[in-house]
Amino acid sequence: MGSVLCLVTAAEGAADEVSLQALAAASALAAGGAVHALVIGEAGAAAAGAAAHELGAWGATQVHVATHPSLTSFAPDAWARILADLADTLGVAAVVGPGSDAGNTVLARVAARLDLPFAANCTQVVPGDTVVVTRSRWGGSLLEEAAINATRAILTTQPHAVAKTSTGGSAAVATFAPTLDDADLAVRVVGHVDAAKAGVSLAEAKIVISGGRGVGSTDGFAPIEELAGLLGAAVGCSRAVTISGWRPHTDQVGQTGTKIAPDLYIACGISGATQHMAGVKGAKKILAINKDHEAPIMTGADYAVIGDLATVVPAISAEIKRRRG
């Protein structure tokens, strides 16, 4: 197919998981051709080490690090210009990005700049003269197979749908100064508000325990918090909970919250709306605790406990404590 350019975002000084998954898709598209990785701005300084030492092992053959005095925070239009300009300079056949909020925001702007179609949330890519993708639609309730009829394919990968692939290779790293103007920097992040709590993050947790409307109140999360503490798990919630004001939006799991991929997901009092299930598709195992045996979540659960979570969850905690002595 030719060479492919992939946007890489970073978390805590290293390439994040969704970017490594996007790199795997880029490698599949390149089908033996060059895979260029681009690290930008605030990620540029933090991830330059990661770019040099890690990205080659995950499929990149060349790493480009963009540095600019004004790139001190996320600026989607500036990132889009850098990505689009580099795509033209390299003459790549496709541009790939992670299906995160930032990735989708930037790649949509790249498509607009280049006047090309954009395929978001792809779960599979098939290289060829015309790229064919499978992508998640309608909150994950259906999969669509589509052909990207364009001179250059532009797409993002659905988080946790494409497995990252270690190639054991290495990549050359080159730093460059992009051309930007004031219009590119008109929209940018000027500050971050940290979550009110510390502990295991939803995105990285191996076990996530979420509560839904069935929890009943803010205080109703106390047994879930206790169980999470015993298991070293992160606590999440459904959209209904955040709307009710029982938990902050940062705790929300789902299509409009955080998409997760834990080893175990425990859903307590959650009915299993399509939007919620779209966010937990990456979970290896799902345990549902619900009084309603006909709740939609039961069709997607690997295990189910039919009962009142206010009784079941404390009983699980009590048994864990007993076994640990």
Chain-centroid distance, C-alpha 104? 10
Q: Is residue 99 part of a domain?
A: yes
pLDDT at 191: 84
Q: What residue type is assigned to position 206 of the chain? A: K
- Is residue 198 over pLDDT 60? no
Radius of gyration of the chain (CA): 21
Same domain, 148 and 12: yes
Total count of domains within the chain: 2
Same domain, 68 and 153: yes
**Which residues have a Cβ under 8 Å from the Cβ of 318 and sit 6 or more positions away?**
none
pLDDT at 314: 97
Report the CATH number at residue 221.
3.40.50.1220
Q: Is residue 197 part of a domain?
A: no
The larger pLDDT score, comparing residue 50 to residue 185, is at 185
Mean pLDDT of 12-30: 89
4-8 and 94-98 as β-strands: parallel, antiparallel, unpaired?
A: parallel
- Is residue 139 over pLDDT 70? no
Same domain, 97 and 145: yes
Q: How many residues are recorded in the chain? A: 325
Lowest-pLDDT choice from 23-32, 42-51, 72-81, 91-100: 42-51
The larger pLDDT score, comparing residue 196 to residue 241, is at 241
pLDDT digits (tens, 9 = 90+) for 91-116: 999 999 999 989 999 999 999 999 99
* CB distance 52 to 63 below 8 Å: yes
Mean pLDDT of 136-156: 87
CA–CA dist 289, 284 (Å, integer): 17
Same domain, 129 and 262: no
Query: pTM (2 decimals)?
Result: 0.76
Same domain, 161 and 32: yes
pLDDT at 72: 84
φ, ψ of residue 95 in degrees (nearest 5) = -125, 125
Secondary structure letter of residue 163 according to DSSP = -
Mean pLDDT of 57-79: 91
- Is residue 272 over pLDDT 70? yes
Q: Is residue 191 part of a domain?
A: no
The larger pLDDT score, comparing residue 70 to residue 7, is at 7
Same domain, 236 and 277: yes
Q: Report the b/e string of 139-169 with b at 16+ CB within 10 A.
A: bbeeeeeeebebebbbbbbbbbbbebeebee
pLDDT at 142: 76
- Is residue 50 over pLDDT 60? no
pLDDT at 206: 95
pLDDT band at 208 (very low <50, low <70, confident <90, very high): very high
Lowest-pLDDT choice from 131-135, 235-239, 254-258, 311-315: 254-258
Same domain, 156 and 258: no
pLDDT at 73: 87
Same domain, 307 and 274: yes
pLDDT band at 46 (very low <50, low <70, confident <90, very high): low
Nearest by Cα to 213 from 279, 273, 139: 273
Q: Is residue 256 part of a domain?
A: yes
Same domain, 91 and 145: yes
Lowest-pLDDT choice from 14-18, 103-107, 241-245: 14-18
Report the CATH number at residue 44.
3.40.50.620
**Percent of the chain clearing pLDDT 90 (strictly above):** 67
Mean pLDDT of 269-287: 92
pLDDT, mean over the chain: 90
Range of the domain at 212: 207-324
- Is residue 169 over pLDDT 90? no
Lowest-pLDDT choice from 51-60, 104-113, 267-276, 295-304: 51-60
Q: Is residue 193 part of a domain?
A: no
